[in-house]
Amino acid sequence: MAEFCTKCAPEIWVNDVREDINIDKIYESLEPGTGESVLCEGCGLMAVGKTLDNEMLLAVPTNVDHSSQMVGAIKWVTREEFIALQTYI
Ligand SMILES: [Zn+2]
């Protein structure tokens, strides 16, 4: 079943928002210096992490090959950068 994150869910489920991957709830549940793997089918979000300084970092694919579905690399961005990214795949 498809899962969508905090950013994508409101755009997919306009009237009945099912936020399968709530990045804020995941972040709150994390110990500093750890992360949790996720997979958003909207934007390709791959992990939510919490730094030792209690900063939220989100792993997103940097270059998606649409023909092969191969993800080349990931990068870690802040919540603000993530929300601003155009990463729909
Ligand atoms: Zn997403």
Asked, for residue 66, whether it belongs to a domain, the answer is yes
Asked, for residue 31, whether it belongs to a domain, the answer is yes
Asked, for residue 72, whether it belongs to a domain, the answer is yes
Taken in order 75, 72, 3, 82, is the CA torsion positive or negative? Answer: positive
The confidence score (pLDDT) of residue 63 equals: 65
Measure 4 CA to ligand 1 centroid, in angstroms: 5
Among residues of the chain, what percentage have pLDDT more than 90? 49
Looking at the whole model, is its pTM more than 0.85?
no
pLDDT of 88 above 60: no
The confidence score (pLDDT) of residue 10 equals: 76
Decide if 38 contacts 48 (C-beta within 8 A). yes
Give the number of domains in the chain: 1
The confidence score (pLDDT) of residue 73 equals: 81
Measure 32 CA to ligand 1 centroid, in angstroms: 23
d(CA 69, CA 34): 27
Measure 16 CA to ligand 1 centroid, in angstroms: 16
Tell me which H or E stretch contains 84. helix 79-84
Measure 44 CA to ligand 1 centroid, in angstroms: 6
Measure 31 CA to ligand 1 centroid, in angstroms: 23
Residue span of the structural domain in which 29 resides: 9-84
Asked, for residue 38, whether it belongs to a domain, the answer is yes
